[in-house]
């Protein structure tokens, strides 16, 4: 069998342990070293059962039960199973274990064992459960409203005057927009998590984007006196995805209006080889102990004034997809201040 190159396995996120036909360890990658609390140098050449003693939920020796070097010749792998380490530095630790068998003819010549931390899996499962719960909760209210008003209109159309019908239809339209926004957020979260955001870059006028967002808020009923737009200096040519940048600025302004108080100041200025945008309010600000969590899923702040808690998570994902960065701090007035920096970027194709 060829000699294995450990460096090729060290980049893998899962722990990998490889055993030869003599049932001795020939490779332990970096992730497995972290999971088991041991080093490759200290275990290579030792017996598998000494390095990785595993028991199932009933306390039975897993290697004795599965007999990796015996059993049916047609067996190619062991499906994932939750097991516990029964000795060594990682004693008592739960792992998700998968084994694959390499054969020469009918004889097992090498076993590759994959190790995953159950805590990571549990965190992902909790995150999925939280997402499903949030979606169900946020969808229930507008869908109930849509169903109620449409059923009422269909059953009693002639009993309502035109103004009443218009009010009901406006409510249905607003709730449909709310559902659309929620589904858009969920798609964005899915694409960010999968690293599949598509960027359609073009030259974007950042100050114009900010003014457009503010004008939209004023048109929807927010007082114009509550906004200040401050543009300083000349920006370089910014190659950005206009829809995603509008979404970022819109989310930050909405966050300032929902969670903050007083005047919302949006400042745009040149910064190194790109641009810097800050959105600040005059509210109570974000406590330092929670500042590190504001860009995580489902963060809504202490007052929980509506929303899914996905907006700032999406903001961070969109900014980073542009090669930029975003942070939160305190504004000069003591409120919350979100600051993001974007590189000027370059056209997605060569201009001729």
* Last residue in a domain, options 149, 175, 194: 194
User: CATH number of the domain that 259 lies in?
Assistant: 3.30.565.10
- Claim to verify: residue 211 and residue 148 sit in the same structural domain: no
Flag whether 229 is in a domain.
Answer: yes
86-143 pLDDT, tens digit per residue, is 988 989 889 999 999 888 888 888 999 999 988 777 776 776 777 777 677 777 888 8
Tell which residue, 297, 310, 218, 293, has the closest CA to residue 257.
218
pTM of the model: 0.62
- Claim to verify: residue 331 and residue 274 sit in the same structural domain: yes
* Last residue in a domain, options 76, 101, 119: 119
pLDDT at 350 over 50: no
CB atoms closer than 10 angstroms to residue 247: 19
Phi/psi for 177 (5° steps) reads -60, -40
- Claim to verify: residue 333 and residue 234 sit in the same structural domain: yes
161-215 pLDDT, tens digit per residue, is 999 999 999 999 988 888 887 888 788 888 887 778 888 899 999 999 999 999 9
Flag whether 100 is in a domain.
Answer: yes
* Last residue in a domain, options 159, 194, 229: 194
User: CATH number of the domain that 169 lies in?
Assistant: 1.10.287.130
Distance CA 25, CA 19 (A): 4
Distance CA 136, CA 159 (A): 33
User: CATH number of the domain that 50 lies in?
Assistant: 3.30.450.20
Domain span at residue 280? 202-343
- Claim to verify: residue 188 and residue 273 sit in the same structural domain: no
- C-alpha dihedral sign at 168, 174, 175, 180: positive
97's tokens = 């274990």
Mean pLDDT of the chain: 86
- Claim to verify: residue 320 and residue 213 sit in the same structural domain: yes
- Claim to verify: residue 214 and residue 333 sit in the same structural domain: yes
The domain tally of the chain equals 3
């Amino acid at each position: 069998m060829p000699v294995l190159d450990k460096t090729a396995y060290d980049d893998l996120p899962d722990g990998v342990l490889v055993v030869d036909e003599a049932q001795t360890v020939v490779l332990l990658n970096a992730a497995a070293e972290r999971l088991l609390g041991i080093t490759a140098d200290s275990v290579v050449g030792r017996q598998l059962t000494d390095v990785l003693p595993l028991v199932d939920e009933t306390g039975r020796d897993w290697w004795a039960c599965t007999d990796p070097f015996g059993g049916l010749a047609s067996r190619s792998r062991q499906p994932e199973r939750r097991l516990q380490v029964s000795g060594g530095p990682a004693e008592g630790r739960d792992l998700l274990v998968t084994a694959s068998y390499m054969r020469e003819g009918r004889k097992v010549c090498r076993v590759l064992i994959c190790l995953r931390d159950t805590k990571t899996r549990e965190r992902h499962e909790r995150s999925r459960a939280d997402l499903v719960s949030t979606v169900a909760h946020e969808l229930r209210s507008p869908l109930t409203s849509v169903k109620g008003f449409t059923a009422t209109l269909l059953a009693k159309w002639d009993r309502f005057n035109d103004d009443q019908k218009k009010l009901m239809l406006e409510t249905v339209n607003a709730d449909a927009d709310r559902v659309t926004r929620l589904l858009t957020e969920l798609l964005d979260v899915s694409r960010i998590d999968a690293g599949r955001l598509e960027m359609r870059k073009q030259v974007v006028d950042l100050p114009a984007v900010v003014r457009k967002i503010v004008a939209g808020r004023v048109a929807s009923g927010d007082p114009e006196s509550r906004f200040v737009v401050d543009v300083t200096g000349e920006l370089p040519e910014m190659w950005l995805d206009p829809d995603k940048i509008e979404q970022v600025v819109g989310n930050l302004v909405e966050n300032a209006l929902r969670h903050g108080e007083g005047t919302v100041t949006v400042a745009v200025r040149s910064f190194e080889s790109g641009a810097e945008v800050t959105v600040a309010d005059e509210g109570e600000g974000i406590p330092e102990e929670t500042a590190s969590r504001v860009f995580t899923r489902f963060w809504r702040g202490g007052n929980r004034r509506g929303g899914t808690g996905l907006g700032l998570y999406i903001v961070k994902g969109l900014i980073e997809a542009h090669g930029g960065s975003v942070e939160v701090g305190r504004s000069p007035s003591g409120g919350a201040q979100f600051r993001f920096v974007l590189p000027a970027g370059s056209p997605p194709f060569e201009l001729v």
